[in-house]
């Protein structure tokens, strides 16, 4: 079965794609830290970061719509956690409503914090979307590995990336098998079936893990996975990192 891949546009080969993955990881990490530490009322600075991301995006030749659609995925989660903040903050009251027996008041401070969370989380996810769509997932893992991210985390991500589509395939197959001979529409019965499906999936995954381990052992695995490093930082990477970090700090510290 066919899937959309996580790193769909990572083969394009633009300037941004060719930058050393380690440099990109460091840059976007610094950028996110700077974004998060910017005071909430400085909207001009946020526009500055956005402009910069937009320029990177245009240089990378990835379809804008794709990246924006991707980055919006996070918004529902943010809304869900942040929606109540405007009601709970004290300070100058922006408006108050009576809803049945509840008296709801919204403060300016609350709105500011809400807006702050929304903007920061969206800009951060936008940054990460650009990073992951301009870097192959395997290179990204390698970059993180050379930047001393713990091996266990890299391994989990690596196996996850390798087997997630296979797992989805299996779910689809089980679902197809169910649908081709399931006639009862009784929801209680359906729930029971879903329970069996989850169990079945667990057993299959467990057994696959066992076989993968045997395949690893057969090729001399003894506890740690080693890979070859294949990155070379060139002068352009250093210019890229230096100039962009200068720009973001300039935006951040400008009064």
Partner 1 sequence: MDKVVEIKNLSYTYPDGTPALNGVSLDAMEGESIGIIGPNGAGKSTLLLHLNGILQSKNGAIKVLGMPLTNRNLRKIRSKVCLVFQDPEDQLFMPTVFDDVAFGLINLGYHAQAVRGKVGEILERVDLSGRENRSAHHLSFGEKKLVSLATVLVMEPEILLLDEPTSNLDRKEKRGIIKFLQEIDKTKIIVSHDLEMIEQLCQRVVVMNRGKVVFTGDKEILKDDSRLKSFGL
Please identify, using beta-carbon distances, which residue of 61 and 204 lies nearer to partner 1: 204
CB 193 within 8 A of CB 166: no
Please identify, using beta-carbon distances, which residue of 181 and 226 lies nearer to partner 1: 226
15 binds partner 1 (CB under 8 A): no
204 binds partner 1 (CB under 8 A): no
152 binds partner 1 (CB under 8 A): no
CB 7 within 8 A of CB 136: yes
Please identify, using beta-carbon distances, which residue of 22 and 120 lies nearer to partner 1: 22
39 binds partner 1 (CB under 8 A): no
Instruction: Print burial letters for 96-125: b (CB count within 10 Å at least 16), e (below 16).
Output: eeeeeeeeeebbebbbbbbbbbebbbbbbb
Please identify, using beta-carbon distances, which residue of 39 and 220 lies nearer to partner 1: 220
Site for partner 1 (CB under 8 A): which residue of 183, 206, 220, 232?
Answer: 220
129 binds partner 1 (CB under 8 A): no
215 binds partner 1 (CB under 8 A): yes
Please identify, using beta-carbon distances, which residue of 29 and 163 lies nearer to partner 1: 163
Could you tell me the CA-to-CA distances from 32 to 11, 123, 186, 230 in Å, in that order? 25, 8, 49, 26
Question: Which helix (H) or strand (E) segment is 4 a member of?
Answer: none
Torsion of CA 131, 133, 136, 142, to 10 degrees: 20
Residues that bind partner 1 in the complex, under the rule CB under 8 A:
5, 136-138, 141, 158-159, 161-163, 165-166, 208, 211-212, 214-222, 225-228
């Amino acid at each position: 079965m066919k899937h959309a891949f996580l790193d769909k546009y990572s083969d394009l080969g633009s300037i941004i794609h060719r930058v050393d993955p380690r440099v990109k990881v460091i840059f976007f990490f610094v950028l996110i830290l700077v974004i998060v530490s910017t005071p909430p009322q400085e909207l001009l600075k946020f526009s500055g970061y956005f402009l910069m991301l937009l320029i990177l995006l245009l240089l990378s030749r990835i379809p804008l719509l794709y990246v924006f659609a991707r980055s919006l995925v996070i918004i529902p989660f943010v809304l869900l956690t942040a929606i109540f903040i405007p009601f709970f903050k004290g300070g100058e009251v922006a408006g108050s409503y009576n809803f049945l027996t509840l008296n709801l008041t919204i403060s300016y401070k609350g709105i500011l914090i809400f807006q702050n969370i929304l903007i920061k989380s969206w800009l951060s996810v936008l940054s990460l979307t650009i990073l992951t769509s301009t870097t192959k997932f395997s290179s990204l893992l390698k970059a993180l590995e050379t930047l001393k991210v713990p091996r266990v985390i890299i391994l989990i991500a690596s196996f996850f990336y390798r087997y997630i589509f296979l797992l989805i395939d299996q779910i689809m197959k089980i679902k197809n098998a169910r649908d081709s001979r399931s006639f009862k529409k009784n929801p209680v019965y359906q729930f029971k079936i879903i329970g069996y499906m989850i169990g079945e999936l667990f057993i299959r995954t467990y057994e696959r893990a066992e076989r993968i381990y045997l395949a690893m052992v057969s090729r001399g695995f003894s506890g740690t996975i080693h890979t070859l490093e294949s990155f070379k930082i060139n002068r352009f990477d250093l210019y890229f990192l230096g100039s962009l970090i200068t720009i973001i700090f300039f935006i951040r510290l400008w009064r």
